């Protein structure tokens, strides 16, 4: 994570791509041939905040998703795998920043299902249906 810490919040996409040695995706290139970090970074808007704001398709709930390894996957989980490491089975990738569109690996942490629920409750997202007036 030390390399990531050296990125200033205002770092632009070019600098981040350079850091990870990825090139801009060329049109017409097969998706499967484009490395995962490039696929992720090409659809991120940098510079507004420290968050890496995903600009690609989402699942209707604010979580970005793309087809990778032949199936639909959440981009924040893919970002964790691309920039941090593999996700142990059964673990959840959670947001420190509470921004579902964010895929900044510094804002992601591994938690259990229990952690996820506690996090939701702490942030006031865990509202049961019918509870709102």
Using CB under 5 A as the criterion, which residues of the chain lie in contact with Zn ion when the complex forms? 51, 97, 99, 102, 104, 107
Q: Look at residues 122, 72, 60 and name the one whose alpha carbon lies nearest to residue 96.
A: 122
Considering the complex, what minimum distance in angstroms separates the CB of residue 131 from Zn ion?
A: 27
Select 9 or 85, whichever has its Cβ closest to Zn ion: 9
Select 48 or 127, whichever has its Cβ closest to Zn ion: 48
Select 34 or 97, whichever has its Cβ closest to Zn ion: 97
Which residues lie closer than 8 Å to 58 by C-beta, 6 or more apart?
64, 65, 100, 101
Give the HSE-up count for residue 58: Cα atoms under 13 Å, Cβ half-sphere. 15
Considering the complex, what minimum distance in angstroms separates the CB of residue 26 from Zn ion?
A: 28
């Amino acid at each position: 994570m030390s390399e990531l810490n050296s990125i200033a919040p205002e770092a632009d996409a070019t600098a981040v791509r350079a850091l990870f040695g990825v090139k801009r995706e060329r049109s017409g290139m097969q998706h499967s041939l484009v490395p995962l970090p490039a696929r992720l970074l090409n659809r991120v808007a940098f510079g507004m905040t420290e968050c890496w704001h995903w600009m690609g398709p989402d699942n209707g709930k604010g979580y970005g998703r793309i087809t990778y390894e032949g199936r639909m996957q959440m981009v924040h989980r893919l970002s964790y795998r691309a920039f941090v490491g593999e996700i142990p089975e059964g673990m959840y990738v959670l947001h420190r920043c509470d921004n579902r569109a964010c895929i900044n690996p510094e804002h992601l942490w591994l938690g259990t299902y229990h952690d996820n629920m506690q996090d939701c409750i702490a942030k006031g997202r865990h509202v049961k249906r019918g509870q709102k007036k």
